[in-house]
Structure 1
Amino acid sequence: MNNTTEQVNVLCIKWGNKYGADYVNTLYSMVSRNLSRPFRFVCLTDEKEGIRDEVEVKSIPKIGFEDFDNQVPWTKAHGWLKLTCFANPLHDLQGQTLFLDLDIVIVGSLDEFFEPAGDFLVIKEWDKSDATGNTSVFRFEAGAHEDALDYLKADPEKATEPVRNEQEYITQFVDRQGKLKYWPADWCRSFKRHCLRPFPLSFFQQPRIPEGAKVIIFHGKPHPDDAVRGKSGKWYRKVLPTRWIAEYWR
């Protein structure tokens, strides 16, 4: 993965009203400032209103699984619809594809995410001792993991019973095939785990960017716009207004 002139794909997905078009537009803006390779930026969504023209808007793929194709409630919970990005074909996308969640803040270059060799690269989930990865940032070859969808469709109850969410499902599935690799630990850091200062410093010092971080992951509460205002979402978690987020998240 060292050909810097080869076009790559950057992919996100949006459904429902949890995140608006502004999150897609901001993600595109961050990517355009932090990726020097030629790239296509594609958003899978069924609602394109308000998304900027530079973004290629494509429908969430139909995979031949009624629950997903009809987007029944459980498929929208815990990220399950993200699995539709493993459709084959994935519209007209080919080649290396970097998936990014909408609620991340990019604070460094994305170029290096296309350099390590591997079939499936992902964040190592911070609070799990097994193979589970955090799919806020992962890279794969478009169309290469259709077998994960086939396994899900063949027996949905059996496939989903041992796992809590989409990221446990896909990373454990790929790990069983010996295809799972992780990003260097310092590339993707959790806002809550690695940026917030420990109590009682959190009452006096704003969260900081960990050394070597390229992407800050927001999981649960707060969202980036909450953190800018100093809103934590939890009574026991103090978050001072985090000014640097506004510098990067635009």
Structure 2
Amino acid sequence: MTELASHLPTTKDSRVILCMKWGTKYGPEYVNRLYGMVARHLKGDFHFVCLTDNTQGIRPEVQCLPIPSLALPPGIPERGWTKLTTFEANLHGLQGTALFLDVDVVIVGDITPFFEMPGEFLIIHDWKRPWRITGNSSVYRFRLGAHADVLAEFRRDQESVRKRLRNEQAFLSEVVHRQGKLQYWPAEWCASYKYHCIPTWPANYWKTPAIPPQARIVIFHGEVNPPDALEGRRNRKFRFVKPAPWIRDHWRE
């Protein structure tokens, strides 16, 4: 991929990597490292877009665009539902197939197959409760503009939706499943650092967290993020974990 190629106009055949950063929880280094990981692990050209409220410090190869408003009534918090804006009918004029990645994932293998697997909408299946339809929206793929009805339904019924469901991934999974379009990534592609990398007790006291075989993306959710994993920190008492030095090899620009 040539420098700044991600700023070229997209077409219906474009492969778009989409991420989102707002507030102060994640600094620009998360976006910069995500770009670096994608560049190393995705074969061929791609267009990298970050929807953000602060472009400072983000590397020039990344196209930064404003996060669309959810257009909720005044006083209604958008937190927990913001990702639904990726389904705008016209998301800043972007075209093509989008692979959304949370900024705190760590890519450890080839992600080209995420664009090759057939399906209208693909998402991670919930690891802890696999009997539920709910997906984990750390990694999902869709045609840009093809699911504007999801966002429209949320805007129309947001009050009842917020009372009934916890977050956007529950709502998103419910609506797309109802339409018969919900599919899941192969289970081994997206690994949970918390559930699949950290050895079970008591082996966590002497074994180093490891990348599961066939994993392509490691997802950080709950109390651990990449810097914590690198240093062997957990944000819960009595949950010891050894440092994972392989984070440094992958989570870099």
Query: Which whole-Å CA distance do the structure 1 matches of 2:133 and 2:92 have between them?
Result: 30
Query: Which whole-Å CA distance do the structure 2 matches of 1:176 and 1:236 have between them?
Result: 41
Q: Which residue of 1 aligns with 2:91?
A: 90
Using the TM superposition, give the Cα deviation of residue 62 of structure 1 relative to its aligned residue in structure 2, in angstroms: 3.1
Tell whether 2:88 aligns with 1:81: no
Using the TM superposition, give the Cα deviation of residue 165 of structure 1 relative to its aligned residue in structure 2, in angstroms: 1.0
Q: Which residue of 1 aligns with 2:140?
A: 138
Using the TM superposition, give the Cα deviation of residue 24 of structure 1 relative to its aligned residue in structure 2, in angstroms: 0.5
Q: How does 1:20-169 map to 2 (within 5 A)?
A: 20-66=27-73, 74-76=77-79, 79-128=80-129, 129-169=131-171
Query: Which whole-Å CA distance do the structure 1 matches of 2:163 and 2:40 have between them?
Result: 41
Using the TM superposition, give the Cα deviation of residue 73 of structure 1 relative to its aligned residue in structure 2, in angstroms: 7.0
Query: Which whole-Å CA distance do the structure 1 matches of 2:85 and 2:192 have between them?
Result: 25
Q: Deviations over 1:135-179 (max 9, x none)?
A: 000000001111111111112112222211111110111001000
Q: Secondary structure at the match of 1:52?
A: coil
Structure 1 residues 89 and 228: alpha-carbon distance in aligned structure 2, compared to 1, 3 A threshold: same
Tell whether 2:165 aligns with 1:173: no
- Counterpart AA for 1:86: F
Q: Deviations over 1:119-150 (max 9, x none)?
A: 11000011222110000000000011111111
Q: Which residue of 1 aligns with 2:235?
A: 233
Residues 89 and 148 of structure 2 are in contact (CA less than 8 Å); yes or no, is this contact kept in structure 1? Answer: yes
Using the TM superposition, give the Cα deviation of residue 51 of structure 1 relative to its aligned residue in structure 2, in angstroms: 0.4
Query: Which whole-Å CA distance do the structure 2 matches of 1:204 and 1:106 have between them?
Result: 25
Query: Which whole-Å CA distance do the structure 1 matches of 2:78 and 2:241 have between them?
Result: 32
Residues 186 and 212 of structure 1 are in contact (CA less than 8 Å); yes or no, is this contact kept in structure 2? Answer: yes
Stretches of 4+ aligned residues off by more than 2 angstroms: 62-67, 159-162
Length-normalised TM-score, structure 2: 0.91
Query: Which whole-Å CA distance do the structure 2 matches of 1:56 and 1:66 have between them?
Result: 29
Q: How does 1:182-197 map to 2 (within 5 A)?
A: 182-197=184-199
Q: Which residue of 2 aligns with 1:18?
A: 25
Identity of aligned residues (%): 47
Using the TM superposition, give the Cα deviation of residue 236 of structure 1 relative to its aligned residue in structure 2, in angstroms: 2.2
- Counterpart AA for 1:93: L
Residues 70 and 78 of structure 2 are in contact (CA less than 8 Å); yes or no, is this contact kept in structure 1? Answer: no
- Counterpart AA for 1:151: E
Query: Which whole-Å CA distance do the structure 1 matches of 2:118 and 2:73 have between them?
Result: 35
Ranges in structure 2 where 5+ consecutive residues have no aligned partner: 1-12
- Counterpart AA for 2:125: K
Using the TM superposition, give the Cα deviation of residue 110 of structure 1 relative to its aligned residue in structure 2, in angstroms: 0.7
Query: Which whole-Å CA distance do the structure 1 matches of 2:149 and 2:250 have between them?
Result: 37
Q: Which residue of 1 aligns with 2:6?
A: none
Residues 160 and 169 of structure 1 are in contact (CA less than 8 Å); yes or no, is this contact kept in structure 2? Answer: no
Residues 97 and 144 of structure 2 are in contact (CA less than 8 Å); yes or no, is this contact kept in structure 1? Answer: yes
Residues 206 and 241 of structure 1 are in contact (CA less than 8 Å); yes or no, is this contact kept in structure 2? Answer: yes
Query: Which whole-Å CA distance do the structure 2 matches of 1:236 and 1:179 have between them?
Result: 41
Query: Which whole-Å CA distance do the structure 2 matches of 1:141 and 1:9 have between them?
Result: 10
Length-normalised TM-score, structure 1: 0.92
